[in-house]
Amino acid sequence: MVKFVSVRGTRDIFLHEVKKLRYIERCCREVVSKYNFQEIILPTFEDKQLYQRSIGETTDIVEKQMYEIVDTKGRKFVLRPEGTAGVVRAYIEHNLKNIFPLKRFFYFGPMYRYERPQKGRYREFYQFGIEIFNEPSPSSDILLIKIILEVFNKVGINGVLYINSVGCDRCRPQYTTELVKYLNSIKQSLCNDCKIRLQRNPLRILDCKIDTDKIVNIPQITNYLCEQCKTNYEEIKQLLNKQNIEYKEDKFLVRGLDYYTNFVFEYKVHSLSSTQNTICAGGRYDTLIKTFGAEDTLACGCAFGIDRMMELVTIPKGSKTDIIKIGIGTVSDEYVSKGFEIADMLTQNNSKYIVIGPLCKKSLKSQLRLFNNEQCKYVVIIGEEITQNKVVLKDFSNNRQEVVEINFLVEKINKIE
Ligand code: HAM
């Protein structure tokens, strides 16, 4: 008999973990809805070229991490490794600029990357992403940061903000030339991956965990920024200062996706393992939309790594997820129909209550055992008192029980709560 287990790098999320995931998702939704972001539900797979052309042919994601699907007609699709490319595609395809006065979008869902699985790094993982189109820097960058801080504050996370500017098409080429010149001079000491990166995507070497000590004297991009990028970066820093938002400059922060221009950032939590401690990251990508054939459109965004946030969050007591389970017990099967009526009555205008039962063909004793195992707080027992419109309400927390008139049942439970 073949025994199936979940595929490496994927995981089943259940019990407390699923509550945590939904709690974080809900907190993110609550914050972005205050700022008029609109939800967009994206397909989980798209044309392979969409990702090759947006994320960049020579990035790790495109070169090594994409899950490819070839359909029966030989067409190549990819399980989405991220959400930004999909939002940009949808924005252009449906002319969303004419539909939404404010072009602010968010999405939530699983992403797929073929990475070496470990705690906080999965092959299927969840992101909550936000994208802002057609709004200039620095106000839109600061809005992103403020939203992130509001989410962190809500869920009780303390992250450290790292920022950098990666320049633009005008200044980055000159920086890259200088960088390659320097890296060639120390080529022998680079790791094997970086020797290849030197040919294909030298900026990525700045992000190499192995070669960090060798890049101490490396040319820094902020010294090569054109006037416009320099001014923009200064404006962002000034506004962060005025808003009392703490940050650290990381001159080696380049991000693993090629579409970024100017301002980039990452939020890290140092209590997590150093290779998976970025819990939210993003930046500007002012040229991406144009490269897909649409008109020049400013853009910035970021994505929260929900799986990593789950490691840091505890659901506060008294939050909405603290639902109350109520068992609906019946002394015999003749009361099952009444049991359904009472279950409806309890759940109909009250999202706090979850009912279990009625269950037929089980003794009251085994129903009570099940309700207890399911951690029901109360049990409503329907027996012969029903002829007087009454039921027994048992409180599992103290094992007390009393006869209650059905009309006052909800009121009674609410009062105890
Ligand atoms: P990213 O940095 O590739 O950016 O991913 C954002 C976040 O997703 C990471 O900081 C991390 O928390 C989480 N993450 C990434 N890979 C994994 C994984 N294998 N397992 C668990 N969590 C992971 C983006 O995806 C950009 N699209 C963000 C963005 C939006 N930029 C502009 N708009």
Find, among 260, 41, 306, 28, the residue nearest to 141 by Cα: 260
Q: Model's pTM, two decimal places?
A: 0.90
For position 193, what pLDDT does the model report?
87
Ligand 1 centroid, distance to 125 Cα (angstroms) = 9
Compute φ and ψ for 157, nearest 5 degrees. -115, 140
Closest-lying ligand 1 atom to the alpha carbon of residue 278: 10
The CB of 117 under 6 Å from ligand 1? The reply is no
Distance CA 381, CA 206 (A): 67
Say if ligand 1 is within 6 A of residue 302 CB. Answer: yes
Does the C-beta of 20 come closer than 6 Å to ligand 1? no
Given this model, what pLDDT does residue 133 score?
Answer: 98
Substitution site in 82, 87, 164, 204 for ligand 1 pocket (most atoms within 8 Å of beta carbon): 82
Contact 259, 209 (CB under 8 A): no
Output the CA 306–ligand 1 centroid distance in Å. 9
- The token duo for 90 is 């949808």
Ligand 1: atom nearest CA of 301 is 33
286 within ligand 1 shell (Cβ under 6 A): no
- Does the beta carbon of 122 sit less than 6 angstroms from any atom of ligand 1? yes
With the most atoms of ligand 1 within 8 angstroms of its CB, the residue from 125, 155, 260 to mutate is: 125
Check residue 14 and give its pLDDT.
97
> 62-77, pLDDT tens digit by residue?
999 999 999 999 999 9
On the question of a cis peptide bond just before residue 101, with omega within 30 degrees of 0, the verdict is no
| Cβ–ligand 1 contact at 278 (below 6 Å) | yes
- State the distance from the centre of ligand 1 to the C-alpha of 321, rounded, in angstroms: 27
Give yes or no for residue 305 CB within 6 A of ligand 1: yes
Protein residue whose Cα sits closest to atom 23 of ligand 1: 305
Give the per-residue pLDDT at 397. Answer: 87
Question: Is 84 close to ligand 1, i.e. is its CB under 6 Å away?
Answer: yes
Dist. CA 288 → ligand 1 center (Å): 18
Tell how far the Cα of 280 is from the centroid of ligand 1, in angstroms: 7
Tens-place pLDDT, residues 228-264: 999 999 999 999 999 999 999 999 899 999 999 999 9
Of 48, 51, 54, 63, nearest in space to 114 by CA: 63
Contacts of 319 (CB under 8 A, 6+ apart): 23
Pocket test for ligand 1, best of 8, 111, 130 (most atoms within 8 A of CB): 111
The pLDDT assigned to 318 comes to 66
**How many angstroms is it from 30 CA to the middle of ligand 1?**
21
Which ligand 1 atom minimizes the distance to the CA of 61? 3
Helices 84-93 and 48-55: crossing angle, nearest 10°?
Answer: 110
46 lines ligand 1 (CB under 6 A): no
Distance CA 381, CA 390 (A): 10
Q: How far is residue 227 from each of residues 222, 281, 383, measured CA to CA in Å?
A: 11, 25, 82
Per-residue pLDDT in tens (0 to 9) along the chain, 417 residues: 899 999 999 999 999 999 999 999 999 999 999 999 999 999 999 999 999 999 999 999 999 999 999 999 999 999 999 999 999 999 999 999 999 999 999 999 999 999 999 999 999 999 999 999 999 999 999 999 999 999 999 999 999 999 999 999 999 999 999 999 999 998 888 889 889 989 888 998 888 867 666 666 789 999 999 999 999 999 999 999 999 999 999 998 999 999 999 999 999 999 988 889 999 999 999 999 999 999 999 999 999 999 999 999 999 876 655 688 999 999 999 999 999 999 999 988 777 889 999 999 999 999 999 999 999 999 999 999 999 999 999 999 899 999 999 999 988 888 776
Question: Is 109 near ligand 1, meaning CB less than 6 Å away?
Answer: no
Q: Is the shortest distance between the CB of 85 and ligand 1 below 6 Å?
A: no
